[in-house]
Amino acid sequence: MVILRWLDRVLLIALKALTITCFVIVTILVSANVFVRFFPVASLHWFDEVIELFYAYLVFYGAAALWISRGHISVGDWIGGRLIKSVTGRHIYRMILESVVLVFTLIFFYYSLRLTVLALDVTNVFAIPKSVLYSCMPVAGAIMILYSIRDIAVEMIPLINRKANTGTPPP
């Protein structure tokens, strides 16, 4: 478990650093583009493809970082915490929600991987393969799948422990 927690921290730090770096780069490039529109001192003909790359990485790796840290908005506690009074019922409710989320991430992973593998074209200026631009989606999707499975297990463990302690199935 110590190794898994260490890997969690390393992965989360790496994703946060990558997301912040992409955000800074996007901010600088957008500012430069605005400046060049008012003061045409340089040509930013490459702007669109570079922004596309960094913005995609920012969005998808940022989403994966939020997934790991559970920093995203979740309807699970909002509804389940208020309407379901039973602790066991809340765990089952969250497990069902996490299962639905897992199905979504599996579909997202499949189609983003398919898009990445089938993308054969390149960008106009730097000839960056489009698969490089799209690669952040299946990688982020794989991370989300792993952590969705973790979240399901986290909700399942108290149910299993309760059953083992009482010798009867939970109500």
> How far is CA 7 from each of CA 12, 40, 146, rounded to the nearest angstrom?
8, 47, 13
Arithmetic mean of pLDDT, 143-161: 90
What the block records as the tokens of 46 is 């490459």
pLDDT > 70: percent of the chain: 89
> Is 122 strand, coil or helix?
strand
Phi and psi at residue 100, in whole multiples of 5°?
-65, -45
Residue 9: pLDDT band (50, 70, 90) is: very high
For residue range 13-59, list pLDDT tens digits in order. Answer: 999 999 999 999 999 999 999 999 899 888 888 998 899 999 999 99
Q: For residue 58, what are the CA distances in angstroms to 15, 54, 133?
A: 9, 6, 11
| Mean pLDDT (the chain, rounded) | 88
Between CA 147 and CA 152 the distance in angstroms is 9
